Amino acid sequence: MVAIALSITGVINRTRALLAGRKGIRFFQHIYNAHLLLRKGAVYSTTTTALFRIAPTVYLGSAMLALLFIPVANLEPMLSFHGDIILVAYLLALSRTAIILAAMDTGSSFEGMGAAREALYGALVEPALMMGMATLALFCGYSSFAEIFSTAQELNMNLTIVLLLVAYVFFIVMVIEAGRVPVDDPKTHLELTMIHEVMCLDYSGVDMGMIHIAGWFKNAIFATIAANAVAVAISFNWWFATPLAVLATGITIGFMESLRARNKLSRNITYILTIVAMAALVLLTGFLLIQNIEI
C-alpha cells in the first residue's frame, strides 16, 4: 500500500511530461520535495489557534489508519473487523473535516471559500462512496474489506461488468477527493478557482509535508479498492492488483490532466451528482442480479 501511495503521483507526472513532449521531473521528485518539507519548521499566523496546528496530524493519522484496513487482492490487511468499511469511510471524512476546520481557523476569506467548496463536494460525493462499498458488500455478503476481497469470485459476465463499474465509481471518487482535473487543478495558483490547495495556503514546512503524504495515502486507498474490484473477478493476485492500481490510475489521470480542461465551478456539482446517480444505478443493478431478476 505504501509503494502504491508513493508511485501513483510519479506515474501521473511522467505521463503528463510524455504527453507534453517534455523531459519532465524525476519519478520520485514528489517524495524528495516532501522530504525537504519534513526537515523544515513551520510558521503559524497569530490569528490561528491550536486547531490549526493539530489538523495536519489528524489529517495524516486518519488517512494512515484507513490505509491499514485495505487489502491488496489476496494479501490480507493489517487491521480488520466486521463493518470496517463504515469506519474507513468516516476516517476519510474525519481527515476532510480536520482540514476544513483548519482552513476556517485562519480567518482568511480565500481559505474559507475553499473550505466551503470542499465541504459541499465532500457531502455530495459521500453517497457515491457508500453505495460503492454497499455494492461490494452486497455481492460478497460481508461488511469488511478483508472478507470482501478474501476470495476470488466466479467469472461471470454480469458480475464482472458491475465490478468494473464499481471500480470506475471509486476512481472518480478518488479524482474528486484528490482535487484533480476535471473537478480541480492541482497546478493552479489562482485562489478564486482553487478548492483543495487553497485550504493549505497558510501551511508550510513539516505540516505541508504531512498534508502531501496524507493525500498520497488517500489516493492509494481509492485506487487499491478499485483495483481489487477488478482483480476479484479477473485475476485475484497482488501482483496483478498492485500494478493495476498504480499504472491504470496514474496513466488515466495523466491523460485526463493533459487532454481536457478543468470544469467550470458551476458544472462540478452536476458532475459529482452524475457519479452519485451512477453509483445508485450500479447498486440497484447488483441487487437485481443477486435476486436473479432478469434485466
The amino acid present at 245, given as its one-letter code, is A
Distance of CA 256 to the CA centre of its chain: 16
In which band, very low, low, confident or very high, does the pLDDT at 192 lie, cut at 50, 70 and 90? Answer: low
Q: What mean pLDDT comes out for the span 85-94?
A: 95
The amino acid present at 33, given as its one-letter code, is N
**Which residue(s) pair with 75 in the sheet?**
72
User: What are the φ and ψ backbone dihedral angles of 114, each rounded to 5 degrees?
Assistant: -65, -40
pLDDT above 80 (res 188): no
Among residues 99, 75, 66, the alpha carbon closest in space to that of 212 is found at 99
How many angstroms separate the first and last alpha carbons of the chain?
A: 38
Cis geometry, peptide bond prior to residue 186 (ω within 30 degrees of 0): no
pLDDT above 60 (res 286): yes
List Cβ neighbours of 95 (8 Å cut-off, separation of 6 or more): 58, 59, 60, 62, 63, 66, 214, 218
Q: What mean pLDDT comes out for the span 221-240?
A: 92
pLDDT above 80 (res 281): yes
Q: What is the pLDDT of residues 99-127, one digit of tens each?
A: 999 999 999 888 998 999 999 999 999 99
Q: Are 180 and 223 contacting, i.e. CB atoms less than 8 angstroms apart?
A: no
Locate 36 and state its grid cell.
Answer: 525537504
- Secondary element (H or E) of residue 232: none
Q: What is the pLDDT of residues 40-66, one digit of tens each?
A: 999 998 999 999 999 999 999 999 999
Query: How many distinct helices (H) and strands (E) make up the chain?
Result: 11, 0
Q: Are 187 and 179 contacting, i.e. CB atoms less than 8 angstroms apart?
A: no
Distance of CA 90 to the CA centre of its chain: 13
Query: What pLDDT, on a 0 to 100 scale, did the predictor assign at position 196?
Result: 84
Ramachandran category for residue 141: left, alpha or beta (phi over 0 → left; psi -120 to 50 → alpha): left
**Residue reference for cell 495536519:** 56
